[in-house]
Amino acid sequence: MRLPRNVKVKSFPWSALPLFSTYTAHALYPNVYIPKHIYEDLQSKNPNPKNVSVLIHEQTHINRQKQMGWLLWGLKYCASRKFRFEEELAAVKESMKYLKKKKVKLDINRKAKLLSSFLYLWCISYDEAKSKLDDAWLEA
**Worst-scoring range by mean pLDDT, 14-23, 85-94, 120-129?**
14-23
φ, ψ for residue 136, nearest 5 deg: -65, -40
Q: What is the pLDDT of residue 20?
A: 63
Does position 62 have pLDDT exceeding 70, yes or no?
yes
Domain ranges, ordered by start, for the chain: 7-139
Residue 112, pLDDT score? 98
pLDDT tens digits, 2-56: 999 999 998 877 666 666 667 789 999 999 999 999 999 999 999 999 999 999 9
Q: Which range (18-22, 59-63, 85-89) has the least confidence?
A: 18-22
Long-range own/partner contacts, residues 135-139 (CB < 8 A, 24 or more apart): 136/89, 136/92, 136/93, 136/96, 137/96, 137/100, 137/106, 137/108, 139/93
pLDDT per position as a tens digit, 91-119: 999 999 999 999 999 999 999 999 999 98
Are the CB atoms for 58 and 34 separated by under 8 Å?
A: yes
pLDDT number for residue 131: 98
**What pLDDT, on a 0 to 100 scale, did the predictor assign at position 95?**
98
**Whole-number pLDDT of residue 21:** 63
